[in-house]
Chains A and B, each alone.
Chain A
Amino acid sequence: MSEALAELKKVSRVYQKGKDKVEVLHELDLVIPKGDFVAIMGPSGSGKTTLLNLLGGLDKPSSGTVTVGAAGLSSMSNSQLSRWRSTHVGFIFQFYNLLPVLTAQKNVELPLLLTSFGSAERAKRATIALEIVGLGDRGKHYPRELSGGQEQRVAIARAIVSDPSLLLCDEPTGDLDRETADDILRLLQILNREHGKTIVMVTHDAQAAGFASRTLHVDKGKLEQRAAA
C-alpha cells in the first residue's frame, strides 16, 4: 500500500443541540493513501459530510486526531487551518458555490489571491486550470451564463488551481443530470489518475461511487469498508 496522505485516529465529533449532545462520528479510524480515489456513501445524517469537513480542516474533532500530510489538523488554530487549506486542499460542492459577481476566470483566481503571485501569474494559472477542465473559452462568462455542468467544471478548476494534493468533493454530481454527472466523474478520474490528486468524494449515488477506486460506507458515525467492484 502506498504512503498515507490522510489519517484519522479514533475521531469522534459531538455536537451540542440545545441541551442534548449528538455524536455524529464515533471513534472513527481511517487511512487514505496518496493517490487514492475514495467514495464515501451512507444515509443522510450518517456523518459523511462531517468526515469530509474534518479532513478539510473546516471542523475540528471533539476527540482523536486528524493528520493530512505532515499537518496535524486537530491542534491547528483557525488561521493556521485557513493558510493550510489555501495550499493543500481543494473543495468541490454540490451547488458549485461560485461567486455570482465574478467571471469564471476570476472565480478560479480566487484561491490565488492568497498567494504572492501577481495578477498576470494568477490569470495564467487560472487559464490553465480552466483548460484542464475543458472550459478554456469560458473564462469571461459569469456563472449565470453557464450550464450546471460547466459551473461544476469551473468549481473544479478553482479547486485545483493552487495545485493541492487533496480534493474533497461533497455530492459533486448531486445537482446534475446523469450524462453531465458522468462527465464530471470522468474528469475527477483524470485528475486522480493523470494529475495524481487524492480524492475523497461523498455521494448518495452508487453509480457515481463506481468511478472511485474504493467505497467506504458510513453509518451512525462508524465506518464500514468494502472492496470496489
Chain B
Amino acid sequence: MKYFGLVWKNVWRKKARTLLTILSVFVAFLLFALLNAIGHAFKAGVDVAQAERLVVIDKISLINPLPISYRNKIASTPGVAAVTHQSWFGGYYQDPRNQFAQFPTEPYGYFEMYPEHVISKEQLDTWAKTRTGAVVGRELAEQFGWKIGDRIPIQATIWTKADGGRTWEFDLVGIFSTDDPRGTTAFMLMNYDYFEEARAFGKGTVGWYVLRINKGADPVAIANAVDNEFANSPNETETSTEAAFATSFAKQFGNIALIVQLILGAVFFTLLLVAGNTMAQSIRERISEIGVLKTLGFTDHTVLGIVLAESVLIMLIGGVLGLSIGWVLVQGLGQQMGAFLPGIFLGPSALLIGLGCMIGAGVLAGAFPAIKGMRLTIVDALARR
C-alpha cells in the first residue's frame, strides 16, 4: 500500500492517454456485462435444471407432439416417482411484441414437479377447479400489471380454437414466485384440460413429458427404460436430463454461449493490445526514472511490482466502471425484455469472473513492459536521459 501513491501518480502521468485506455477497458467490461447477462438468459434453463428431473421428447424433433397415452406407461416405469407434461402454446398478449412463454399443463402435477416455483395452496386449488384458469409468474404479472381476477386474452399463433377463433381468454387465478435468483417466472401456465378440449387439432397429444426419478435411482437406466418402452412405435422418444434438454432447447437459437465467448475473446484481445501498448509507451518514456528508483535502492522485483500494479489499476478503474454501468443496464434490460427473453441476469459469479479478468488482463498487459523495467541495468537506464 505504501507504493500506491507512486503507482497512482504514474497512472495519471499522461491524463489523455490514460483516459482513452480506461475508456477502452470500460467498453470491454460493459460488453462483458451485457453479453454475459444475455448469455445467461439463453442458458438459464440449464443453470436451474435438476439432476433428478428427466425430460421425454419425440426422438425426431421437439416440435413433434407425443401421445397423452404415454403418461401412464412412463409413470409405471420402475424408478419414476412422478410424471407431468407440458406443451408449447406460442401466443402473445395484445401486441405481437408482447411474446412470452405459455404452457398448458397439469396444475397439481406441475407444482409437484417444480417445488422451486411457489404458489399458495388456495390459488393452486382454485386453478385446478377453474377450467379457463391460468397462473403467471410474478415477473410477468409485474411486467403487464396483472392482478388476480383479471381476464387475459392471448392471441394464439399455433393453436386455433375449435370454433375457429384465435383468441383464448384466461382467468388469472394465481401468481407464483421462485426463490432461485437464477430462475425466471416470466411465463404463464394454463389448464391442459381446457386447452385439450378447446383446440381445433392435435387432440390427445402433449408437447413433452417431465418425470422425477426416485432419490438414488440411475437416470441413465431410467431414460433407457422409457425410450425402450416406445421403441419401434410411431412416436419414439428421447429421454435426457433436464440440463441436456435445456441446452438443446437453447441451441435452437444458435450456440449463443460460443458466440458470446468469441465476441468477448475478440474484445479482450484488442483490449490487451491497447493496454499493453499504453504500458509499453509509458515505460519507454521513463526509463531514466526507473534507473533513479533502482539507484535509490528499489529492487528489480519492486520495480516489476510497481509497473504491474499500474497496469492492473488501469484495468480496475475501467473495468469496475464498465461492470457497474453494465449491471445497471442489465437491470433495465431485464425489465424491458424480461417477458420476451427471461433470465437476463448478471450474477455474483459473473461479477467475480469479471474482476478476475481485470486482474488477469492487467497482469498480461503489463507483463512485457514490467519485465523490461525489471531487467534494465541502472547504468544503461541512467544513460538514456
Our verdict on whether A and B bind, yes or no, reads yes
A positions within 8 Å CB-CB of B: 53, 56, 58-59, 78-79, 82-87, 91, 93, 95, 97, 99-102, 106, 110-111, 113-114, 119, 158
Q: List 12 A-B contacts (CB under 8 A).
A: A83-B299, A85-B295, A86-B296, A97-B288, A97-B382, A97-B385, A100-B13, A101-B9, A106-B5, A114-B296, A114-B298, A119-B2
What are the residues of chain B within 8 A of A111 when measuring CB–CB? 296-297
Q: Give the distance in Å from the alpha carbon of A83 to the alpha carbon of B299 in the complex.
A: 8
B297 & A82 in contact (Cβ 8 Å cutoff): yes
Asked if B337 lies at the interface with its beta carbon under 8 angstroms from chain A, I say: no
Asked if B196 lies at the interface with its beta carbon under 8 angstroms from chain A, I say: no
Contacting residue for B292 out of A79, A82, A87, A99, CB 8 A: A99
Do A101 and B10 form a contact, CB below 8 Å, given A53-B379, A78-B300, A85-B295?
yes
A86 & B385 in contact (Cβ 8 Å cutoff): no
Looking at chain A's contact residues, the main secondary structure is: helix
Do A97 and B294 form a contact, CB below 8 Å, given A106-B5, A113-B3?
no
- Min distance, Cβ A153 to any Cβ of chain B, angstroms: 17
- Min distance, Cβ A110 to any Cβ of chain B, angstroms: 6
- Min distance, Cβ B376 to any Cβ of chain A, angstroms: 12
Closest-by-CB residue of B relative to A116 is B2
- Min distance, Cβ A54 to any Cβ of chain B, angstroms: 10
A95 & B297 in contact (Cβ 8 Å cutoff): no
Contacting residue for A110 out of B296, B299, B385, CB 8 A: B296
What are the residues of chain B within 8 A of A58 when measuring CB–CB? 295, 378-379, 382
A85 & B296 in contact (Cβ 8 Å cutoff): yes
A110 & B293 in contact (Cβ 8 Å cutoff): yes
CB contact list, B292-313 vs A, under 8 A:
292-302
Closest-by-CB residue of A relative to B301 is A79
Closest-by-CB residue of A relative to B286 is A99
Looking at chain B's contact residues, the main secondary structure is: helix
CB contact list, B232-282 vs A, under 8 A:
none
What are the residues of chain A within 8 A of B9 when measuring CB–CB? 99, 101-102, 106
Interface centre among B293, B297, B300, B385 (most CB of A within 10 A): B297
B288 & A113 in contact (Cβ 8 Å cutoff): no
A86-B296, A97-B382 given; 7 more Cβ-contact pairs under 8 Å: A53-B379, A58-B382, A83-B299, A91-B296, A99-B289, A110-B6, A119-B2
Closest-by-CB residue of B relative to A81 is B297
Q: Give the distance in Å from the alpha carbon of A119 to the alpha carbon of B9 in the complex.
A: 17
- Min distance, Cβ B12 to any Cβ of chain A, angstroms: 8
B297 & A56 in contact (Cβ 8 Å cutoff): no
A82 & B294 in contact (Cβ 8 Å cutoff): yes
Closest-by-CB residue of B relative to A87 is B297
- Min distance, Cβ A213 to any Cβ of chain B, angstroms: 25
Q: Give the distance in Å from the alpha carbon of A100 to the alpha carbon of B288 in the complex.
A: 12
B297 & A83 in contact (Cβ 8 Å cutoff): yes
Q: Give the distance in Å from the alpha carbon of A100 to the alpha carbon of B385 in the complex.
A: 14
Q: Give the distance in Å from the alpha carbon of A87 to the alpha carbon of B296 in the complex.
A: 9
What are the residues of chain A within 8 A of B293 when measuring CB–CB? 110
A85 & B297 in contact (Cβ 8 Å cutoff): yes
B297 & A86 in contact (Cβ 8 Å cutoff): yes
B295 & A113 in contact (Cβ 8 Å cutoff): no
- Min distance, Cβ B292 to any Cβ of chain A, angstroms: 5
Q: Give the distance in Å from the alpha carbon of A102 to the alpha carbon of B3 in the complex.
A: 12
- Min distance, Cβ B100 to any Cβ of chain A, angstroms: 56
B298 & A97 in contact (Cβ 8 Å cutoff): no
Do A79 and B300 form a contact, CB below 8 Å, given A59-B379, A106-B5?
yes
What are the residues of chain B within 8 A of A101 when measuring CB–CB? 9-10, 12-13
Q: Give the distance in Å from the alpha carbon of A119 to the alpha carbon of B6 in the complex.
A: 13
What are the residues of chain A within 8 A of B6 when measuring CB–CB? 99, 102, 106, 110, 113
What are the residues of chain A within 8 A of B299 when measuring CB–CB? 78-79, 82-83
A-B residue pairs, 6 tightest by C-beta: A86-B297, A101-B9, A82-B299, A85-B297, A97-B292, A58-B378
Closest-by-CB residue of A relative to B297 is A86
Interface centre among A83, A87, A101, A110 (most CB of B within 10 A): A101
Interface centre among B2, B9, B13, B295 (most CB of A within 10 A): B295
What are the residues of chain B within 8 A of A99 when measuring CB–CB? 6, 9, 289, 292
What are the residues of chain A within 8 A of B297 when measuring CB–CB? 82-87, 111, 114
What are the residues of chain B within 8 A of A84 when measuring CB–CB? 297
Contacting residue for B298 out of A82, A102, A158, CB 8 A: A82
What are the residues of chain A within 8 A of B288 when measuring CB–CB? 97
- Min distance, Cβ B6 to any Cβ of chain A, angstroms: 7
Q: Give the distance in Å from the alpha carbon of A114 to the alpha carbon of B302 in the complex.
A: 10
- Min distance, Cβ B37 to any Cβ of chain A, angstroms: 39
Q: Give the distance in Å from the alpha carbon of A103 to the alpha carbon of B285 in the complex.
A: 19
What are the residues of chain B within 8 A of A106 when measuring CB–CB? 5-6, 9
- Min distance, Cβ A158 to any Cβ of chain B, angstroms: 8
Contacting residue for B295 out of A56, A78, A79, A95, CB 8 A: A56
- Min distance, Cβ A90 to any Cβ of chain B, angstroms: 9
Q: Give the distance in Å from the alpha carbon of A93 to the alpha carbon of B278 in the complex.
A: 29
